[in-house]
């Protein structure tokens, strides 16, 4: 028997699941608290990425914070991309790594980029966003 409403229900469920995952990935509590201490409010905009790039990296002396902050920075970058670049979406790879898939099909490992930013400050988050937004 064919129950057409079941197909739609599954699609709706997947959309809700993707939205829920996106909300979880957007939390970035450590990054948000560190940024707020420096007077930077994170509003999920490209402008906030520019402001983050200007924050003094006081965390670089603490390996534990550095690791968590790198994750958060990558997830925040991904959140901004997903919320502002048409066709961008979160994808969880088979290894459990969240990546952003652009409308072109290109996947962008935002967490790896977040770790590089937290460690070295380069490439800048706003620069990475600019490259993705132009693609």
What's the mean pLDDT in 105-114?
A: 95
pLDDT higher than 60, residue 72: yes
Strand partners, 91: 99
* Continuous H helices in 26-123: 29-37, 46-53, 63-84, 110-120
CB of 108 closer than 8 Å to CB of 96? no
Residue 11: burial class (beta carbons within 10 Å; 0-12, 13-18, 19+): exposed
60 contacts: CB under 8 Å, gap ≥ 6: 66, 118, 119
Strands 107-108 and 98-101 come out as: antiparallel
Instruction: Count CA within 13 A, CB hemisphere, residue 131.
Output: 13
pLDDT tens figures, 11-52: 444 445 556 777 788 889 999 999 999 999 999 999 999 999
Is the full-model pTM beyond 0.95?
no
Q: What is the pLDDT of residue 63?
A: 86
């Amino acid at each position: 028997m064919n129950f057409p409403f079941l197909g739609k229900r599954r699609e709706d469920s997947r959309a809700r699941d993707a939205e829920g995952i996106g909300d979880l990935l957007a939390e970035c509590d450590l990054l948000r608290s560190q940024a707020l201490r420096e007077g930077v409010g994170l509003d999920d905009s490209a402008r906030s990425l520019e402001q983050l790039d200007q924050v003094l990296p006081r965390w670089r002396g603490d390996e534990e914070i550095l690791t968590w902050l790198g994750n958060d920075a990558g997830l925040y970058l991904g959140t901004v991309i997903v919320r502002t670049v048409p066709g961008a979406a979160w994808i969880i790879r088979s290894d459990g790594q969240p990546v952003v898939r652009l409308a072109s099909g290109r996947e962008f490992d935002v967490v790896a980029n977040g770790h590089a930013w937290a460690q070295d400050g380069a490439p800048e988050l706003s620069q990475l966003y600019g490259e993705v937004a132009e693609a």
